[in-house]
Amino acid sequence: MARLILFNKPFDVLSQFTDARSPTPRATLSDFVAVPGVYPAGRLDRDSEGLLLLTDDGRLQARIADPRFKAPKTYLVQVEGEVDDAALETLRRGVALKDGMTRPAEARRIDSPELWPRNPPVRFRKSVPDCWIELTLREGRNRQVRRMTAAVGHPTLRLVRWRIGDWSLDGIAPGTWREG
């Protein structure tokens, strides 16, 4: 029977179990998940938070992570500035990045979600407003959400992956996990 773990990865944690390359210790999955034989199905950047799936089943891992299967991934994104309809429409059509056009995304503006505080907090500037969008992608390029929001003029301040397919972060506190 395949094992699936839903982990709420905190900010500044690597989505791997070891960090042999860094001269200074950095937090890794091994600081939070003491389950032998499971590996991340995909990645989540160190400066991003949220849902990371771990499994001991290679086929399930590939099905979750491989863009060919188009598993939707939903992100809650705090961006700099007030996002207008034109920026949302560009995200929905696809954004031209240096490595080509992105697939169309689902994009909508949302109220500030009730999330845990981030440590360290997101920088706050009185003179520059911010807002939140929900973005659902069906591909997974390197730092794609950040590059897409920057391309439409709204750099990402905070990025939380909330859902992958049918799995979500509901009820999972940062740094904790539950069986899927």
Q: Which residues are catalytic?
A: 45
Q: 3-class SS at 69?
A: helix
Point out which residues pair with 13 in neighbouring strands.
27
Residue for token pair 């730092």: 143
Distance CA 130, CA 80 (A): 4
Detail the DSSP E strand segments found in 1-129: 4-9, 39-40, 49-55, 73-80, 96-97, 100-101, 106-110
Q: Identify the burial level of 54 via C-beta atoms within 10 angstroms of its C-beta, where 0-12 means exposed, 13-18 middle and 19 or more buried.
A: buried
> How many angstroms separate the CA atoms of 48 and 70, rounded?
21
